Structure 1
């Protein structure tokens, strides 16, 4: 007997139940004649594959286990849907999707233009367009589709402003918005010509249109909700306190107290609210702080975005609400710091000529925990809370930035002076170590220069990639040159290869190795991770930063070992043993001051502060490393005896030469005076006077 079950509880499994009779014999304990013999029914379940399934992707036929099945797309789409029947007899996730053809969006735009030019009510055509958009965005989309869809939605709003909108149109509209805001579309959204603020603007205008057409038909207490995966909206009429969301319970909400409305002369009001749970990922992280005129990059959106608008008489102002509106946010990441209550201000134009930025004007933070934050704002609009993903607050970040900028500038000046000083006395001080030191000074000078000039140049994606790669190359070259200096110092101390070995011949490797690392990184990542919206540097989340940290940490480790060996050799040297304790201490300190800037040991502060809550390490790192050029100038020029003696000798020699040249000129003048004939005496009137006498 065979029983077949087409679906399991998940709707996908196909099983076969086989009912059969098996003989059962019970053997006697002594192994003799069977004591009992009978038969029992046994049911065996065998999974034969996946059953037929009809869903929004199409009709999936019956399939065997581990079989990949493809469903063709509709005529207006390219590609196909693919999924696998897994070993449990369940349909797996869809792994390939259909993509709308460009002609479909073009035809929708033409249809929209036709509707806008036609006379009469075209609500049906609007509904058809929005339905098509909801289907298109339900598939895999790219940046071009996002741009075209948002353009069509803006066009729909221009038409719908003087037409009746249907309930179906509203459903399709919010389905489209929700589909566009899918987390898997985040990367495509960032590459599109529009950002998340366009979605805010479109939804705000559509909701206002809803209020104008629906509110008159709502009784007090009526609230209509539309819930999608990534946007939730309500429109309702309330008497007294307004709380959004009103139907759906949520820790993130906006609360307008009854007193606030009473002070405005409002006792019954129609509200519209929207709640976005993924929009923050595609919003610009720009914020204009209270009292400042420019937009500055500050933190990340660390909450869902929520908005509320009231339909009031034209004479009612909602700009200075008293008591203020209370907004409660559920924090996405409880470890973030430096919270700022913000709203999206469309009146701000940023440096990228984009309309709108986050503003803190009229909003204050009242309370914050690791879970929630409470803000008070004197107006209504789209709200969120921005926080810094770094454990260093914005205040400390600003100070660290100033320290780095000032330190790098000082270092660049000192590096130029170091190069000039060595160039003047190059014939005297030239050696393997000074040759490598000059390479290090040039590399540091270029690295600091590019860092100061380009690390914040995020306006151009291509330029930012080039700057990030160049900074990576130059600082890696700095590390490899510091490694060469460390090896040269080690060789000079232990004399492994003798004095004839010229390490300077291998210096091209210090420039070639970083070039290879950067080239491989660019090739493997295809430039992804080089630069972001804040800085032109390597991405941390993707792990690309390790293409710099890895080699740098290896160089630091080797140089630390070299310093230990060098100090051990120094401690055992006879000339050190004979010195007093005070003299020894001075010798150690002087040696450390000379070696640390050249070998990059101060970069340990940077490595230790990556995951440290002790922000003091960040200060040490910024001070010591931005002033590396200053330390090199001090300990390899100002306090370097050889340089000082060479400069003094050059000065004395020039003085001697000047004196010698002066003596030669005087001697030549005297000799010239002696060898010249005596001038002829005049025998004029005086002679004649004598004759007269």
Structure 2
């Protein structure tokens, strides 16, 4: 068979084609088990392989010819596939061919991993759009005849199908060039033509084409929004109130009149026709804000019905989605305060999770949703957004909410109680310090306990302080850094205490020097978390990721920032949990000569185990294990409350189980109490003696 193959190939090349002939072209896929390549003698070198055969019509030939395509059965991914028009392409890549009928651009097909081509992606350009795009490159000609070019684009959008990915991108490019014109004054007729084009390219029938277009041009939807906002500023209407209404986009506006005492209010509520959802929104600018604008200047609002499906939903909140109209408002002063009423599209989302956001344009043409300068209020079924600037706004909502007012209040109360208890713990430690640090083991434990108390106390104080600070300020950044560092220090000190416990359980009769204990403890307790916190801060600061923009808190929506807290937390809690299990098993083992048959002894053992679990859970931070539940987005609200209450009250648990229930602390307090009583008795005797002496005289 190997000998016959070159003969067959030479014969097929020498014999002329005929209509009854069948020609076979052999194409082989490179793989680990199947190789075919030409050597210097123009002969095939073959290796044994297990292949499957696919046949397709031979491209470019009229007769009944076939192409044999080999694929390695060991790996069913398409390493090579042949199509009638697109030829062969590697898996995961796109094959392309030039457009026909005098159209510029390409047709593309993606080779899927299952060995099949996806649908054709049409990036061809209509000749009319291509010609218009070339003509308007002349800035002088564009400015002079802008109205003519806008009307021409509107006619193309009405008479031709521009809903393909290639034509959508070309139309956005044309509109972007239109928006670059700054020295023009356009009447409402021209703006009607412009909005007719926008209405066509954002229709619901174009949504799938937009999805394809953005795979090649991801900034196209952001550029469209910017272009509409910029071009609309050229409008110069003759009336004091004006509007343009299309099925997918509406414009409403007014001319400012100094003698008017009315506020600006426009309502968009008639989008229901042709859409499978109810869309509604309103824009309000109060009179005191309007009075700051120049007389005869314009305030214009634009509402988009379908742009929520076209614009990227990238934001600081990964599990949120757009849930309202996109409303753009422009005026001569972008610092004008504005109020918008949104009717949520998806009523299953939690209203308390609402975020009022605006589209923040970047210099490179991209953008994302941002909440800076905006806050929300709930008003019946509506969400009211109040912002301190103008641009394009919408509403982000999620199905699950982590920051309800009730939960925040309970958390703050629990942390307040914790702070008070930690202060009491510090006072007690100060009173009993000389008594409880007489031997090395007790001294080591109380040094670690003291640092746990100090870390948690200062972290809680910083946490409470952050709630009163404005986001994205230097003070806020400093407080958030200390929160991160101090909570990490808390966990590392709890790990140090757990390792000390394990050391005494395993090495019962071995002791360590005080210097070694101090160096190890301080390195693990403060140096490690400090290096970790500084490293994360440096990375996030230069990426401008460190702070949230809606509150003074670390931007945990960035995955690496979230993991910088959760990974050490979960690792240390897991280690401490296993050390707790080891301690309990050590307690269950009877000592030499101890009898374990007594029912009374079993009761004592159960009490000791329960007491040990309570103590170790509080001082080793095992309650933080509830945080594992938050790895899922749909965490039950009961877990949310349990996590915040238990960890908010950790200071109380440390006071009760870590300080007061310590037998040495109790002995020291009793000793100090006896000394105080003795001093009081001596003072009383002295006073009585003094009084008696005075009376005798």
For 2:581, which of 542, 558, 564 is the aligned residue?
Answer: 564
Q: Which residue of 2 aligns with 1:418?
A: 425
Q: Deviations over 1:454-485 (max 9, x none)?
A: 26756217666555444333222211111111
Matched, 1:491 2:503: yes
Q: Deviations over 1:597-646 (max 9, x none)?
A: 11111112222354364422222221111111111122333333322332
| C-alpha contact (below 8 Å) 1:337/1:391 kept by paired residues | yes
Q: Deviations over 1:233-270 (max 9, x none)?
A: 2699xxxxx95253x443344699xxxxxxxxxxxxxx
For 1:277, which of 308, 326, 350 is the aligned residue?
Answer: 308
For 1:509, which of 524, 538, 541 is the aligned residue?
Answer: 524
Give the distance between the partners of 2:354 and 2:485, measured in 1 at CA.
39
For 2:276, which of 250, 253, 273 is the aligned residue?
Answer: 250
Q: Quote how far apart the aligned CAs of 1:433 are.
A: 0.7
> Relative to structure 1, is the Cα distance of residues 214 and 641 closer, same or farther in structure 2, using a 3 angstrom cutoff?
closer
Q: Which residue of 2 aligns with 1:440?
A: 452
Q: Quote how far apart the aligned CAs of 1:436 are.
A: 0.9
Give the distance between the partners of 1:636 and 1:283, measured in 2 at CA.
46
Q: Quote how far apart the aligned CAs of 1:534 are.
A: 4.2
| C-alpha contact (below 8 Å) 2:355/2:397 kept by paired residues | no
Note the 1:213-228 alignment, pairs <5 A: none
Give the distance between the partners of 1:341 and 1:451, measured in 2 at CA.
23
Note the 1:41-440 alignment, pairs <5 A: 43-45=65-67, 123=147, 159-160=185-186, 165=191, 167-168=193-194, 171=197, 232-233=248-249, 243-246=270-273, 248-253=274-279, 274-278=305-309, 300=320, 302-305=322-325, 329=345, 336-338=349-351, 358=376, 360-361=378-379, 363=381, 387-390=397-400, 397-430=404-437, 431-440=443-452
Give the distance between the partners of 1:463 and 1:127, measured in 2 at CA.
54
| C-alpha contact (below 8 Å) 2:436/2:664 kept by paired residues | yes
> Relative to structure 1, is the Cα distance of residues 93 and 606 closer, same or farther in structure 2, using a 3 angstrom cutoff?
same
Which one has a larger percent strand, Structure 1 or Structure 2? 1
Structure 2 alignment gaps of length 5 or more: 1-16, 20-55, 70-79, 96-105, 123-135, 157-165, 253-268, 283-301, 330-338, 359-369, 384-391, 438-442, 691-697
> Relative to structure 1, is the Cα distance of residues 547 and 666 closer, same or farther in structure 2, using a 3 angstrom cutoff?
same
> Relative to structure 1, is the Cα distance of residues 339 and 68 closer, same or farther in structure 2, using a 3 angstrom cutoff?
closer
- Higher radius of gyration, 1 or 2: 1
- TM-score for the superposition, normalised by structure 2: 0.53
For 2:653, which of 631, 641, 663 is the aligned residue?
Answer: 631
Note the 1:615-654 alignment, pairs <5 A: 615-650=637-672, 652-653=674-675
Give the distance between the partners of 1:450 and 1:555, measured in 2 at CA.
22
Structure 1 alignment gaps of length 5 or more: 4-12, 21-41, 54-61, 70-80, 95-107, 217-222, 226-231, 237-241, 257-270, 286-296, 310-318, 320-324, 346-351, 366-381, 669-693
Q: Deviations over 1:495-538 (max 9, x none)?
A: 35712355443111222222343345456665565333445235
Name the SS for the 2:626 alignment partner: helix
- TM-score for the superposition, normalised by structure 1: 0.53
For 2:609, which of 588, 607, 615 is the aligned residue?
Answer: 588
Q: Quote how far apart the aligned CAs of 1:561 are.
A: 1.5
Q: How many residues align?
A: 505
Over aligned residues, Cα RMSD in angstroms? 6.7
> Relative to structure 1, is the Cα distance of residues 433 and 355 closer, same or farther in structure 2, using a 3 angstrom cutoff?
closer
Q: Quote how far apart the aligned CAs of 1:43 are.
A: 2.1
For 2:564, which of 518, 523, 547 is the aligned residue?
Answer: 547
> Relative to structure 1, is the Cα distance of residues 509 and 166 closer, same or farther in structure 2, using a 3 angstrom cutoff?
same
Name the SS for the 2:512 alignment partner: coil
Q: Deviations over 1:347-391 (max 9, x none)?
A: xxxxx99776555446469xxxxxxxxxxxxxxxx9977644426
Q: Which residue of 2 aligns with 1:315?
A: none
Give the distance between the partners of 2:474 and 2:218, measured in 1 at CA.
17
Give the distance between the partners of 2:657 and 2:450, measured in 1 at CA.
14
Q: Which residue of 2 aligns with 1:603?
A: 624
Give the distance between the partners of 2:489 and 2:562, measured in 1 at CA.
16
Q: Deviations over 1:421-474 (max 9, x none)?
A: 223332222211111111111211222122222267562176665554443332
Give the distance between the partners of 2:148 and 2:562, measured in 1 at CA.
54
Matched, 1:532 2:532: no
> Relative to structure 1, is the Cα distance of residues 44 and 421 closer, same or farther in structure 2, using a 3 angstrom cutoff?
same
| C-alpha contact (below 8 Å) 2:452/2:490 kept by paired residues | yes
Name the SS for the 1:244 alignment partner: coil
Give the distance between the partners of 2:151 and 2:664, measured in 1 at CA.
86
Q: Which residue of 2 aligns with 1:476?
A: 488
Q: Deviations over 1:292-333 (max 9, x none)?
A: xxxxx9x95542526799xxxxxxxxx9xxxxx9978357xx
Q: Which residue of 1 aligns with 2:29?
A: none
Deviates more, 1:639-648 or 1:159-168: 159-168
| C-alpha contact (below 8 Å) 2:456/2:486 kept by paired residues | yes
Give the distance between the partners of 2:485 and 2:563, measured in 1 at CA.
13
